[in-house]
Structure 1
Amino acid sequence: MSAVPKVSGATVTGGPEAAALAARAAIRSGRHAGPTAGLAPGMVQGNLAILPKAVAHDFLRFCDLNPKPCPVIGMSQPGDPMLPMLGGDIDIRTDVPRYRVWRDGQLAEEPTDIRALWRDDLVAFVLGCSFSFEEALVADGLRIRHIERNQNVAMYRTNVATAPAGPFHGPLVVSMRPFVPADAIRAIQITTRFPRVHGAPVHFGDPAAIGIQDIDKPDYGDRVEILAGEVPVFWACGVTPQAVVAAARLPFCITHAPGAMLITDVRNSTLAVM
């Protein structure tokens, strides 16, 4: 397999790191089973894909070919549920608020704990998440509507094809945030500094140009209102593997439920490119 990029900063010392530990403890105990936006500010959150070892190399190759929707920030050894490069106590079987279990490309269940489903041949991939660059947008004074309204971000399947690898192929999924044009330009400038968490947008303006027929009906997440004078801005999204899994019709795999991320001990600031 190709080398997974190393992420520095996974040392717990207090402050935001302590908040990440507390958030994972709440998730692990079942006290939190919903979206993770706003939890442990300052810390990297990740999308999840768990696949059998037999197709793990192909999936890593798929990520290499599609780095904007699938930036790998961590990967487990086969059968090992721990991810020490992202947090010393992380157990991928219990530390995501809600999982999605896929069988033959169909969503089979959404458990909050996958210990009973874990196998010795499973490999976990953690992918960068837009929550990291959202923090940078907010810090610069930009308003993020789904955060202000306590919603999940709106996500859409597009007609933009991903580069295939082995059994993995399918449409790009994007997340949308509305801005007035001047703020959209600033958002593009800021997110360009975060290639490890999707980077600059892939599109802005007319949703139909990327195959979105009804902006008010997202495929994942919540409808986010677009006000007069605003334009929708679209970023590549880490939910893309869910669309790819459905297209590949794998006998078995596990992903996160949209918006329910893995909270790590890595600081968002370590992912910025200056």
Structure 2
Amino acid sequence: MAELALNATSTPQQARRLIRDGHWQQHTSGLAAGHAQANLVILPEAQADDFLRFCQANPKPCPVLDVTAPGDPYPRSLGDDIDLRYDLPTYRVYRDGKLSEERHDITDLWRDDFVAFSIGCSFSFEEALIAEGLEVRHISERRNVPMYRTNIPLIGSRLFGGEMVVSMRPFTAAQAIRAIQITSDMPRVHGAPIHLGDPAQIGISDLQQPDFGDSPVIHQGEIPVFWACGVTPQLALENAALPLVITHSPGHMLITDIPNHRFKFG
């Protein structure tokens, strides 16, 4: 099976080639270790400036890595030979604010007025956590990261607003402190956690029922640690109810050529 050919040691180019050829349609967590992955939002040029203002007002969940020119599917600052029309395993298509379909190729939907936003992804800081000896449970369990809608309000723009989505990783208290230290200097990939402990305080009623991704595996003595998540724009797009927008499917990211260490300072 071609799926078995992709793993942490694959290069970004190898990963994108198999994805482009339709041989990998799973989540991308843990693939092409050492290289950044990105969330994706594609929308018409007429709404692009307002969406950029929304991202700039909410940098924790929406750190912008690249913005393409209208009609250009190539995010050249993120690597060579990247084509946003078919280099992600699964896309989501929203029509009038409703999830209309998921598909593996959006070539026939592409328009000359589309602007694509690549947004930083927490998969980048996971490598830093693992390098410091912290287990990232969904990677070790070969699962997709659990993601949740919250009651944390966003700063709205003219069209876009709503509440934040978070991703969760369980740690002991001591590990959680170390995870905060490690991720604090990586703001372009969400930075430090926004909450830890009681999920009800941020509007999450059941950790075993995530809104996106897979249910978590939490061991005795561990607490949930929550980071701002790049799925947040998808909820803002639902609220805006634009006629047509396209995003990545949660966990099915764009694998870039950018080394993760470029997003770390200090």
Instruction: Determine if the TM-score, normalized by the shorter chain, exceeds 0.5.
Output: yes
Amino acid at match of 1:128: G
1:69 to 48, 51, 61: 61
Partner of 1:50: 42
Closer/same/farther in 2, CA of residues 180 and 95 from structure 1, 3 Å limit: same
Which residue type is aligned with residue 56 of structure 1? Answer: A
1:119-174 CA-partner distances (Å, limit 9, x unpaired):
00000000000000000000000001111100000000000111001110011000
Structure 1, unaligned stretches of length 5 or more?
1-15
Matches within 5 A, 1:210-221: 210-221=202-213
SS at match of 2:11: helix
1:247 alignment counterpart: 239
In structure 2, how many angstroms separate the alpha carbons of the residues matched to 1:17 and 1:25? 15
How far 1:17 sits from its partner (Å)? 10
SS of structure 2 residue aligned to 1:263: strand
Q: Structure 1 CA distance, aligned partners of 2:213 and 2:117?
A: 22
- Cα distance, 1:18 vs structure 2: 7.3
Partner of 1:159: 151
Partner of 1:225: 217
- Residue 19 of structure 2 is aligned with which of 27, 34, 42? 27
Q: In the alignment, residue 138 of structure 1 is paired with which amino acid? A: I
Percent identity, please: 58
Q: Which amino acid aligns with 1:216?
A: Q
Q: Match of 2:137?
A: 145
AA of the residue aligned to 2:159? P
CA distance in 2, matches of 1:160, 1:212: 11
Name the CA distance, whole Å, in 2 between partners of 1:260 and 1:159.
25
Preserved CA contact (<8 Å) 2:9 2:33: no
| Bigger Cα displacement from structure 2, 56-65 vs 246-255 | 246-255
Match of 2:79 among 87, 91, 98: 87
CA distance in structure 2 between the aligned counterparts of 1:193 and 1:136, rounded to whole angstroms: 11
Measured in 2, the distance between the counterparts of 1:260 and 1:96 equals: 6
| Structure 2 residue 239 is the aligned partner of structure 1 residue 234 | no
CA-CA distance at 1:225 after TM superposition: 1.9
Structure 2 contact 186–263 (Cα < 8 Å) conserved = yes
Q: Which residue of 1 aligns with 2:93?
A: 101
**1:103·1:252 contact (CA, 8 Å) conserved in 2?**
yes
Matched-pair contact (CA < 8 Å) for 2:68–2:116: yes
Match of 2:103, SS? coil
Gaps of 5+ in 2: 1-7
- Tell me the residue number matched to 1:260: 252
Query: Is the contact made by 2:36 and 2:259 (CA closer than 8 Å) also made in structure 1?
Result: yes
Return the letter of the residue paired with 1:87.
Answer: G
CA contact (8 A) 1:17 1:43 kept: no
Q: Return closer, same or farther for 1:212/1:18 CA change in 2, 3 Å cut-off.
A: closer
Q: Which moved more, 1:223-232 or 1:21-30?
A: 223-232
SS of 1:213 mapped into structure 2: coil
Distance 1:203 1:180 in 2: 14
Match runs of 1:113-152 below 5 Å: 113-152=105-144
Aligned with 1:169 (options 161, 167, 182): 161
RMSD of aligned residue pairs (Cα, Å) = 1.1
Runs of 4 or more consecutive aligned structure 1 residues displaced over 4 Å after TM superposition:
none
1:48-70 Cα deviation digits (max 9, x unpaired): 00010000000000000000000
Q: Which amino acid aligns with 1:158?
A: T
Residue 248 of structure 1: how far off its partner (Å): 1.3
Q: Does structure 2 retain, via aligned residues, the 8 Å contact 1:17–1:265? A: no
Q: 1:253 to 1:82 in 2, by over 3 A?
A: same
CA distance in 2, matches of 1:83, 1:218: 31
222-231 vs 70-79, greater mean Cα deviation: 222-231
Question: TM-score normalized by structure 2?
Answer: 0.96
Rounded to whole Å, the distance in 2 between the matches of 1:145 and 1:177 is 7
1:7 alignment partner in structure 2: none
Residue in 1 that maps onto 2:195: 203
2:226 and 2:63 map into 1 onto residues whose CA distance is: 17
Q: Is the 8 A contact 2:10 2:33 kept in 1?
A: no
CA distance in 2, matches of 1:66, 1:167: 14
